[in-house]
C-alpha cells in the first residue's frame, strides 16, 4: 500500500540518480580534458554549479519531508543518506573543477614524461570505475556491489603512493611535478568519496555503519 510520504521519497530518489549521472559526466569530462590537454573549464564550471543547485534542492526537499511526515527510522535513514550523498556529489564537482583549473594553469600533462602520463591515465580509469560502482550501487541499492568498492579503493591508494615514489626519483620539471601531484591527489580523494557513498548505501539498506576504506 502506498504511503503519503512515498511520492516525496521517489522524487528524492530520481533527483539523486540524476545528480549521480551528471557527476560522472562532469568528472569524465574534466579528467579527459586534463589527459588530452583540452580546455573544458567553462563546461565543467557550469556542470559543477548544476550539481550544487541539485544538492540544495535535495536538502530542501529532505527538510520538507521530515517536517511534514515525521518519517519512520528506515525512511529517515534514506533521507539523511541522500543529503550526505548529494554533498559527496557536489565535492566530486569541485574536484572536477579543480582538475580543469590545473589543466589551464599548468598545461596539464604537456610537460610530463610518457611514464607520468601513462600512470595518471591508468589511475584515472580506476577512479572513474570506482565512481561508476558508487552510482550503480546507489541505483540498485545493491550492498554487494557497494562493498566491492573496497578492492578498487585500495588499488587507487597503492597507485597514488607508488606514483609519488616514482616522481621523487624522476627529473620532471616543476610544472609537471606540481600538476601531476595535484591531479593524483584529487583522484585519490574522488575514490575516497566514492567509497563514502557506498558506505551510505549499506547504511540505507541495512542500518549498519561500516567502513569500506
Q: Domain extents for the chain?
A: 6-206
d(CA 30, CA 191): 15
Closest listed residue to residue 94, CA positions, set 186, 32, 157: 186
Is 80 exceeded by the pLDDT of residue 49?
Answer: yes
Residue 169, class by beta-carbon neighbours within 10 Å (0-12 exposed, 13-18 middle, 19+ buried)? exposed
Closest listed residue to residue 142, CA positions, set 133, 154, 150: 133
CATH level 3 topology of 6-206: Methane Monooxygenase Hydroxylase; Chain G, domain 1 (1.20.58)
| Mean pLDDT of the 138-163 span | 96
Is 90 exceeded by the pLDDT of residue 187?
Answer: yes
Angle of CA points 80, 82, 88, to nearest 5°: 110
Q: Supply the pLDDT for residue 1.
A: 67
Contact between residue 212 and residue 150 where contact means Cβ atoms under 8 Å apart: yes
| Mean pLDDT of the 6-27 span | 96
d(CA 14, CA 61): 12
Residue 7 neighbours by CB under 8 Å, 6+ apart = none
Q: Which three cell numbers stand for residue 13?
A: 530518489
Is 80 exceeded by the pLDDT of residue 173?
Answer: no
d(CA 41, CA 33): 9
Contact between residue 156 and residue 130 where contact means Cβ atoms under 8 Å apart: yes
Rounded to the nearest 5°, which phi and psi values hold at 207? 80, 5
Residues 90-103 have pLDDT tens digits of 999 999 999 999 99
The beta-carbon contacts of 121-126 under 8 Å, at least 24 apart in sequence, are 121/35, 122/159, 123/156, 123/159, 123/160, 123/163, 123/184, 123/187, 124/31, 124/35, 124/187, 126/152, 126/155, 126/156, 126/159, 126/191
Closest listed residue to residue 121, CA positions, set 180, 193, 182, 44: 180
Is residue 85 very low, low, confident or very high in pLDDT (cuts 50, 70, 90)? very high
Amino acid at each position: 500500500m502506498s504511503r503519503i510520504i512515498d511520492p516525496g521519497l521517489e522524487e528524492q530518489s530520481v533527483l539523486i540518480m540524476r545528480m549521480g549521472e551528471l557527476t560522472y559526466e562532469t568528472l569524465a569530462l574534466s579528467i579527459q580534458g586534463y589527459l588530452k590537454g583540452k580546455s573544458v573549464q567553462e563546461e565543467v564550471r557550469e556542470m559543477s554549479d548544476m550539481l550544487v543547485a541539485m544538492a540544495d534542492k535535495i536538502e530542501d526537499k529532505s527538510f520538507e519531508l521530515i517536517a511534514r511526515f515525521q518519517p519512520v527510522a528506515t525512511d529517515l535513514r534514506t533521507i539523511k543518506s541522500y543529503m550526505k550523498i548529494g554533498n559527496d556529489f557536489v565535492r566530486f564537482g569541485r574536484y572536477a573543477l579543480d582538475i580543469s583549473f590545473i589543466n589551464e594553469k599548468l598545461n596539464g600533462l604537456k610537460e610530463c614524461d610518457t611514464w607520468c602520463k601513462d600512470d595518471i591515465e591508468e589511475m584515472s580509469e580506476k577512479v572513474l570505475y570506482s565512481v561508476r560502482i558508487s552510482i550503480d550501487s546507489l541505483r540498485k541499492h545493491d550492498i554487494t556491489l557497494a562493498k566491492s568498492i573496497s578492492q578498487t579503493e585500495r588499488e587507487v591508494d597503492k597507485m597514488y603512493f607508488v606514483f609519488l615514489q616514482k616522481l621523487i626519483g624522476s627529473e620532471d620539471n616543476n610544472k609537471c611535478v606540481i600538476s601531476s601531484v595535484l591531479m593524483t591527489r584529487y583522484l585519490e580523494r574522488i575514490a575516497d568519496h566514492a567509497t563514502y557513498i557506498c558506505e551510505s548505501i549499506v547504511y540505507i539498506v541495512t542500518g549498519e555503519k561500516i567502513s569500506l576504506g
